[in-house]
Amino acid sequence: SQTIHQWPATLVQPVGSPLSLECTVEGTSNPNLYWYRQAAGRGLQLLFYSVGIGQISSEVPQNLSASRPQDRQFILSSKKLLLSDSGFYLCAWSVPRGLNTEAFFGQGTRLTVV
């Protein structure tokens, strides 16, 4: 069966520090991969998505970036965090099979920038 791993679960970082969140998927190949951010009490904002190695589509660039160095690995990064980067970050995957692209989520990373 397919599983998705996302770490760390919680993170407290000072303003201006770098960020690296990692997500890996097991049990499937060539998944679509996604990064979402959820501010407290708000909805799910799509940040980046990828349909293949090295292919990244950016929705909200700002000071975040994403990379997909391997088929089942998706990394979210920032060189310098802002207070507004605080939130719940969720990695998700889906199988590309036409329109049946429901998303399955990792456990999420709660990031607090102080």
Partner 1 sequence: QQPVQSPQAVILREGEDAVINCSSSKALYSVHWYRQKHGEAPVFLMILLKGGEQKGHDKISASFNEKKQQSSLYLTASQLSYSGTYFCGTEIPPGTYKYIFGTGTRLKVLA
Q: List the one residue from 104, 111, 112, 114 that touches partner 1 (CB under 8 A).
A: 104
Residues in the chain: 114
DSSP 62: T
- The owner of tokens 């799910």 is 44
**Joined tokens for residue 108:** 């999420």
- With respect to partner 1, which residue has the nearer C-beta, 14 or 102? 102
For residue 100, state whether it binds partner 1 (rule: CB under 8 A): yes
Tokens at 25, concatenated: 């998927």
Give the binding site for partner 1 (CB under 8 A): 32, 34, 36, 42-44, 46, 49, 51, 57, 59, 90, 92, 94, 96, 98-108, 110
